Amino acid sequence: MKKILLLALAVSAFSCKTETKPDYIVISGKITNKLPAELSINTQDQSFTEVIEVAADGTFTDTLTVEKGSYVLYDTKNPVFLYLDSGYNLNINYDAADFKNSLVISGEGAAENNYLIKKREKTPLLIGDNASFYSLNEADFKNKQLAIKDSLTALLNNTPGISEKFKTSEQKELHYNYLVGLNVYEKGHRYFTRDQEFKASDDFLKGLDGFDYSNESDYKESPSYKKIVTDHYVSEITEFMTKDSLSQEEAFFKTVKNIPSELIKNTFLFDFANQSMARSKDIESFYNTFMSISTNEDNKAVITEKYNKLTAVAKGKPSPKFVNYENYKGGTTSLDDLKGKYVYIDVWATWCGPCKREIPFLKELEKTYHDKNIEFVSLSIDKVSDREKWKKMIETENLQGVQLLADNDWKSDFVKDYQIQGIPRFILVDTAGNIVDPNAPRPSDPKLVEMLTELNI
């Protein structure tokens, strides 16, 4: 977590220089033209986030003790992707009105971060459009993957100032990324060529023969290695689901129990639980199974906290409230305003593809139940600053029901109380304001009509 470490910094100012790098990271800089509503440093999976104070003149500085790896400095609009390691002292400056062309990173660790910026810019250009890329035959695809790897390796080797430690780690990452490309080729080729019968030749993935799926160091440091390992175990899960007719949860827990590396097992287990427990139909069983397998006490504490919050929104419990949310038709609406009716809540956003795919089904439901004792509420978690975009979609799609805009997007109390981490999410509340189902079926799922029929709606 974040530590200010002022004492450590004061002591270092009066100490003799040594070759030992400090165990903290300093990031500072200045944002010109427009002060951000908020500036934060986050892991890319948002498991860690800390707000950084910005002065009135746009300057900021903070001292962190975090694990080395990938982070995002985010001002709610412009993301600065960073690689952080102990001893880094990064200065980050940009013009909020011209972010892409004005971003400048200097200081200790700048060479590595500027290389990564160039890598992110160059990679899409090397790949080209995905349809053409994945439609290549096996030989041409593999050759292009090798050419991409070689080009990025040359960029790495030709960037001055990069430490040997980082260079060694990045060379591994580039190789693993090459293997990731081969690993997803079959699915990508099927999708873009619309040839669902396509099967890669037996020797196409020869580079993965004898692959070590238990390298804990690479699992922690290389996103591509982690993806290879994840895909490997996801394949096992899918196989259990198919051959043994297990549910996804059952297949997952059966797979994870057999992962030999404790670190990988605990991380894989935690990542799944953190994202999926809220969608489980039996949260108590899910939680108990997680606790019986996990050996990481920190992970157990996080999931226990999540479990306690989820059980607070279990079937039969009073629903968390939303209060005075902006109503498209004017004024505001609170959940209590709808008491006396069942309330089917669709948590969505204009940028969410799966949400938009449910719209036609939701419209049909609203027609079918228009004179019944149920209210259909579409609760957008678009940013308040995107209000006009929200209004335009309501008009363009002729959306019906009660159209509301949450007060603080993902950070709205209602969203946090329900532990919503992915959308669309559907919630059914009864006439007294109690939860019928915190994970109600989607409008496209016939089980929803069955549920409403059982409730005599």
Q: pLDDT tens digits, residue range 318-376?
A: 999 999 999 999 999 999 999 999 999 999 999 999 999 999 999 999 999 999 999 99
Q: Give dist(CA 110, CA 88) in Å, integer.
A: 8
Q: Does 211 fall in a domain?
A: yes
In this predicted structure, the answer to whether residue 14 has a pLDDT above a threshold of 90 is no
In a domain, 119, yes or no: no
Residue 349 within any structural domain of the chain: yes
Kindly state whether residues 341 and 273 are assigned to the same domain.
no
How confident is residue 443, by pLDDT bands cut at 50, 70 and 90?
very high
Half-sphere exposure of 247 (CA within 13 A, CB side): 6
Average pLDDT, the chain: 92
CA–CA separation, 296 and 306 (whole Å): 16
Confidence of residue 10 (pLDDT cuts 50, 70, 90): very low
Decide if 110 contacts 160 (C-beta within 8 A): no
In angstroms, the CA 105 to CA 81 distance is: 11
pLDDT tens-digit readout, 25-59: 999 999 999 888 889 999 877 778 899 999 999 99
What percent of the chain lies above the pLDDT cut of 90? 84
- Nearest C-alpha neighbor of 231 from the set 178, 184, 173, 198: 184
Same domain, yes or no, for 418 and 359? yes
Q: How many domains does the chain have?
A: 3
Residue 171, Ramachandran bin (φ over 0: left; ψ between -120 and 50: alpha; else beta):
alpha
Amino acid at 349: A
pLDDT average, residue stretch 182-186 = 95
Q: Is the pLDDT of residue 135 over 70?
A: yes
Rounded Cα–Cα distance for residues 424 and 354 (Å): 7
156 and 71, same structural domain? no
Residue 245 has a pLDDT of 93
In whole angstroms, what is the distance from residue 208 CA to residue 146 CA? 15
**Residue 35 is part of a domain; what is its CATH number?**
2.60.40
Is pLDDT of 1 > 60? Answer: no
**pLDDT score for 20:** 56
For range 303-310, the mean pLDDT: 92
115 falls within a domain: no
- In a shared domain, residues 150 and 275: yes
Neighbouring C-beta atoms of residue 274, cutoff 10 Å: 18
Residue 347: strand pairing partners = 379, 425
* pLDDT at 134 > cutoff 80: yes
Is residue 164 scored above 90 in pLDDT? yes
State the pLDDT at residue 86: 92
- 60-73 pLDDT, tens per residue? 999 998 888 889 99
**Do 342 and 301 lie in a common domain?**
no
Q: What is the pLDDT of residues 185-242, one digit of tens each?
A: 999 999 999 999 999 999 999 989 999 999 999 998 899 999 999 999 999 999 999 9
Instruction: Say if 389 falls within a structural domain.
Output: yes
Question: Is residue 65 a part of any domain in this protein?
Answer: yes
Q: Quote the pLDDT of residue 150.
A: 97
Q: In terms of domains, do 382 and 272 share one? A: no
In this structure, the answer to whether residues 338 and 415 fall within a common structural domain is yes
In this structure, of 14-18, 313-317, 431-435, 448-452, the range with the lowest mean pLDDT score is 14-18
Q: Distance (Å, rounded) from C-alpha 295 to C-alpha 306? A: 17
Per-residue model confidence (pLDDT) at position 6:
30
Distance between CA atoms of residues 130 and 139, nearest Å: 17
Same domain, 196 and 95: no
Task: Find the domain containing 17 and state its range.
Answer: 6-108
Task: Determine, yes or no, domain membership for 15.
Answer: yes
- pLDDT of 374-394, one tens digit each? 999 999 999 998 999 999 999
Prior bond of 36 cis (ω within 30°)? no
Which residues fall within 8 angstroms of residue 194, CB to CB, at 6 or more apart?
Answer: none
User: Residue 205 has what pLDDT?
Assistant: 92
Between 327 and 309, the more confident residue is 327
Domain assignment present for 245: yes
Q: Are residues 333 and 213 in the same domain?
A: no
Give the domain CATH number at 338: 3.40.30.10
Predicted local distance difference test score (pLDDT) of residue 21: 61
